[in-house]
Amino acid sequence: KNEVEQSPQNLTAQEGEFITINCSYSVGISALHWLQQHPGGGIVSLFMLSSGKKKHGRLIATINIQEKHSSLHITASHPRDSAVYICAGGGADGLTFGKGTHLIIQP
């Protein structure tokens, strides 16, 4: 059974800080997805990656296949980045989800 572990569970930071959320995953996962769940509940896909690094605006996702580890970074964080960030691993049985990181950015 595939497993995905995220850390930290909760993170509170000040506006402008650089944010890092970590995700470790098990053998059998080929692709790593990062999702954002807004306070209202809607889930949006941010990135899918299997190697290297992807960037979209202030969001950067990296993956190290050998170490089975991925990170999501937010530069120049803003209160509107407050959300739950979810790491999900794609394998033969579909997506396995982490429990999420609850991020609060204070003004």
Partner 1 sequence: GAGVSQSPSNKVTEKGKDVELRCDPISGHTALYWYRQRLGQGLEFLIYFQGNSAPDKSGLPSDRFSAERTGESVSTLTIQRTQQEDSAVYLCASSSRGDRVWETQYFGPGTRLLVL
Note whether 39 binds partner 1 by CB under 8 A: no
**16 touching partner 1, by CB under 8 A:** no
Strands 101-106 and 83-91: antiparallel
User: Residue 48, interface with partner 1 (CB under 8 A)?
Assistant: yes
CB 89 within 8 Å of CB 26: yes
One of 27, 39, 40, 56 touching partner 1 (CB under 8 A): 40
**Identity of the amino acid at 14:** Q
Binding site for partner 1 (CB under 8 A): 4, 30-31, 33, 40-45, 48, 50, 86, 88, 90-100
